Amino acid sequence: MDADRIGRTLARIAHEILERNRGVEDLALVGIRTRGVPLARRLAKAIREIQHHDPSTNLGVGPGSPAVDIPTGALDITLYRDDLMRTAVGAQPIIRRTEIPFSIDDKRILLVDDVLYTGRTIRAALDALIEFGRPKAIQLIVLVDRGHRELPIKADYVGKNLPTSVSQSVQVHLTEVDGRDEVEILDS
């Protein structure tokens, strides 16, 4: 996937979010560190732009109201991983800040990550998120679903299904983190 394709995919997901949730009421985006965070911010921007062009989609706040910014947070799941402390050697993974500057109680949380693979990251993210409150619902958005699930987890919005083999790796590059937008499959 190139930059253009990623942009159009996110625009499509933004439309799907508005359609499925009938507006932006109670919605909040939470990106999983690292690359889920810029994706969540881009989705927030895309949704704001849709509302701007087409006030009729702005069901949550009524016709003619100004577009609403969806609250956006960042979640670091490292402390909830199921593979911490399982090896006798090697340094601990780096922890980054979790920043959820709003109450998630009774919100519909849109959890965003770049690649869905085994599902273990999402399992950790659900545990982490629940400790901040009791959301009304949690929906999962991923840019790429590469298959090979090890847990019963399914995404609600998928940018692209990419069939891969376990020996391959899927690398998502985003301008905010990597200086360019690209999704590539690497053979190892």
> Which residue's CB is nearer to other proteins, number 4 or number 83?
83
Interface with other proteins includes 94 (CB under 8 A)? yes
Closest CA to 99 of 178, 18, 41: 41
For residues 89 and 187, which CB has a smaller minimum distance to other proteins in the complex?
A: 89
Output the six-digit token pair for 88: 């006798």
Residue 151 interacting with other proteins (CB under 8 A): no
The two tokens of residue 53 are 């062009």
Site for other proteins in 121-140 (CB under 8 A): 127-128, 131-133
Output 92 or 167, the one with its CB closest to other proteins. 92
* Nearest CB to other proteins, comparing residues 63 and 90: 90
**Euclidean distance between CA atoms 116 and 134, whole angstroms:** 24
Q: Which is nearer to other proteins, 78 or 139 (CB)?
A: 78
Q: DSSP readout, 41-82? A: HHHHHHHHHHHHH-GGG-TTT-TTPPP-PPPEEEE--GGG-T
- CA–CA gap between residue 118 and residue 113 (Å, rounded): 13
d(CA 85, CA 24): 40
Q: How far is the CB of 32 from other proteins (least distance, A)?
A: 14
Question: What part of residues 98-117 is at the interface with other proteins (CB under 8 A)?
Answer: 98-99
- Among 14, 17, 76, 125, indicate the residue that binds other proteins (CB under 8 A): 76
Q: Site residues (CB under 8 A) for other proteins?
A: 76, 79-80, 84-85, 87-92, 94-99, 127-128, 131-133
